[in-house]
Structure 1
């Protein structure tokens, strides 16, 4: 079966032949019907393939979600068991255990920052000069809000509502 591009090229060439008068009138209707039927069949087959691809993508996404859930459960279980083992070491007063397969050792972590009152800290940090204790993120455009303003008739510079098109397959 020819590609849609080839079918459209044949269709265009046939229309050119009709315009030049090279095709008898009795053959025009039959040929156009055949070309339309071939196009419709090809487009229908492509639509079915698209549905199949989307179904596969959905199944893969579901499997990814299931695997992510399993991964998180395994990680949570490992963290829980590690904490349990730590508590048991502390209870016995042990800080090291060596076996043929593992070396378990309680070690000191590097110091980490603990902020007791984030709001108060932020206010304090704003008053400091030449500090990099705060990170300010770049602004993000809220397109939903811009869309609502444009729909309400507001003039928003550098923004407009644009309606596009796409092929729907059901």
Structure 2
């Protein structure tokens, strides 16, 4: 594959098409010449898309690895918590308040007080908060349907974009 870019090939292809249009060729000669001009452009485009497909596969592999690592991290975090709870229970069962070693000190400490709700129905309304409602947002699906049904929606219009389809 040459070092020339797809953009440069496309620019040269358009220039060659303009030159070709000026020539007085029969239909078959024109078609043959046109096919030969597009060959390098098509190969370069195919190779470019093949590279993007490779990158997409790499992204998928990375995403899978991230999920596996996140799962592994959660398993390890739970294991750490179980081990810490085990040590706390052993210390409490043996009435040990403090253990010292050169690397750290273990001690049983009280957590700050927390509220335990026994029956939410009995709590007076003064102790409830009402979060503000979310601000209204534009419903694009509703606008699209209205325009497609023939209605005019001020400040909105349908646009038709294009995309590269790879089948």
- In the superposition, the TM-score normalised over structure 2's length comes to 0.74
Q: Tell which deviates more after alignment, 134-143 or 76-85.
A: 134-143
- Aligned-pair Cα RMSD in Å: 3.6
Match for residue 51 of structure 1 among 50, 53, 57: 53
Unaligned 5+ residue runs, structure 1?
Answer: 127-132
How far the C-alpha of 1:78 sits from its partner, in A, is 0.2
What pairs up with 1:131-170 in 2 under 5 angstroms? Answer: 133-136=129-132, 138-139=134-135, 141=137, 146=142, 150=146, 164-170=161-167
Matched residue SS, 2:106? strand
Q: Tell which deviates more after alignment, 97-106 or 109-118.
A: 109-118
Output the CA distance in 1 between the equivalents of 2:126 and 2:92.
39
- In the superposition, the TM-score normalised over structure 1's length comes to 0.73
How far the C-alpha of 1:68 sits from its partner, in A, is 0.6
Matched residue SS, 1:110? coil
Alpha-carbon spacing, 1:76–1:162, altered in 2? closer, same or farther (3 Å): farther
Alpha-carbon spacing, 1:144–1:10, altered in 2? closer, same or farther (3 Å): closer
Unaligned 5+ residue runs, structure 2?
Answer: none
Is the contact between residue 7 and residue 35 of structure 1 (CA under 8 Å) also seen in structure 2? Answer: no
Aligned residues: 162
* Residue aligning to 1:129: none
Alpha-carbon spacing, 1:36–1:152, altered in 2? closer, same or farther (3 Å): closer
Matched residue SS, 2:99? strand
